[in-house]
Structure 1
């Protein structure tokens, strides 16, 4: 599933290519036909993101709300666009570029006030300037759930996925099973600052980079073309720092990875 930096990159791209002008919106697949008709031909005022949610704000107070889920993707092309291929949920065409959306979990039209209901269910987004990390801290310090689960809970922090979760805990030497009530405020503050910095790099570079330059050597990344990670998808391999075997387990339905020696 795309993590928060991907949605912020999309918001910036769509802002640059489509905002402040009328856009043509259609649903070649047909599943978004009614919603597309509502905004077709309207001016796209801005694109924004909160966590893993993308919003296209149109004149007249209508907003297209998108959550990519596990399989959603956007593909971009200059105009004139070729005929749609496959199950294109939404096609948006501006003056110079067009984009096709396939496979999202959510693609719907909301009124602007309804956006508050969506973001009201989310925690602070580290990539937003208005993020209030104290909200996340209050939820963590009173919870007995493992910190590894809390970091993935979008009502605690919006935008964190499995890569950032595992790598952040390793970088701060915190066992993923430690309960939230046992996280010190100073530890949370350090993790939050680090998460903000890491996700900003993700927005700039378009990829999740978590390994410090001095540690960026040795065993290759878990997949071709991906940056190296400390623990993510490295089960059974030696820790990059101490050579202890990386462990894995399932925590609340998602795989976690950690070094038992470094993350006590």
Structure 2
């Protein structure tokens, strides 16, 4: 399932290439979204927002497209679009888990942006660049979910939909196709507010001490193990299986401790660390959770999952700190990884 950094990156693609880009033709090649598509078809997109694992696209008639990718959803972008090293290395997909690695320099060097509400021509991420500056002018296709994969150049415009496309958003120069989402619906502003109100805080949306305290209070009010609370989107937005395991290891915190028994300072530190890792994820396109990597070590970590995590997906391998074999068990239907010694 895409974690929070991926959804923020997808929202930024919409901000760059669809917001203020004129009328958007909205359709449903598959047919399941046809009625809702007609509600926003032909209207201009005015805002793209991500909150945790959910994305909201606003149109000039006051309606919003809400998308939750779930376990298998992904967006395919095509046209005059922007790619970064992660996208180029993975061939352009933005969505699914087990993301391919990033080869630094795959696109050449571009500038980096920082604002989630950056102008459409701002390039956001590590070494992002327009595909028009990579060799001959061309139009390309990328897929975005947990992983990002660049696909072959397109030779006709607009390209024919491939597979079961739930929703297609088309402008004069860019197209986005959505497949396999858990949620895809058009709602009004009041419904958007209700959805967001039910979500826990997102460090890229909810900033400052109040957001941290909201998270701390939610955790310490519950007897549920902290390893499950971090996956509860009503407690904190955007954390999935990878970040859950890595955050708890970085805090040397047992995943089985009830939330109410985790010291307040530890819970606050988890929030601040999540804010840090989320920003790194949005910038690099990878769930890079090991600090202090330089040179070749950082290049390996960006390129290979086995070199970028402390405990995730390392069952039976020696802990990088103490040598104890990493443990795994299924908790609430998801694999939970931890070090029995460091996180005792």
**TM > 0.5 fold call:** yes
Partner of 1:248: 328
Whether the 8 Å CA contact 1:249–1:256 is kept in 2: the answer is: yes
Correspondence 1:230 to 2:310: yes
Q: CA deviation at 1:127?
A: 1.9
Correspondence 1:81 to 2:166: no
Partner of 1:101: 178
Q: CA deviation at 1:111?
A: 0.6
Q: Deviations over 1:62-100 (max 9, x none)?
A: 000000000100011117221111100011112311111
Q: CA deviation at 1:30?
A: 0.4
Distance in 2 between residues matched to 1:126 and 1:179, nearest whole Å: 23
TM-score normalised by the chain length of structure 2: 0.73
Partner of 1:13: 13
Q: Deviations over 1:151-197 (max 9, x none)?
A: 00000001100100000000010010011111111111111111101
Matches within 5 A, 1:7-46: 7-20=7-20, 21-46=22-47
User: How many corresponding residue pairs?
Assistant: 261
Partner of 2:249: 170
Q: Deviations over 1:228-260 (max 9, x none)?
A: 211001111000111110001111221110001
Counterparts in 2 of 1:130 and 1:57: CA distance versus 1, 3 Å: farther
Distance in 1 between residues matched to 2:66 and 2:182, nearest whole Å: 10
Distance in 2 between residues matched to 1:181 and 1:135, nearest whole Å: 14
Counterparts in 2 of 1:212 and 1:24: CA distance versus 1, 3 Å: same
Correspondence 1:151 to 2:230: yes
Partner of 1:2: 2
RMSD: 1.9
Partner of 2:153: none
Distance in 2 between residues matched to 1:153 and 1:129, nearest whole Å: 17
Whether the 8 Å CA contact 2:327–2:339 is kept in 1: the answer is: yes
Partner of 2:143: none
Distance in 2 between residues matched to 1:85 and 1:140, nearest whole Å: 43
- Unaligned stretches of 5+ residues in structure 2: 81-156
SS in 2 for 1:57: strand
Partner of 2:200: 123
Q: CA deviation at 1:133?
A: 2.2
Distance in 2 between residues matched to 1:253 and 1:138, nearest whole Å: 26
Distance in 2 between residues matched to 1:33 and 1:92, nearest whole Å: 12
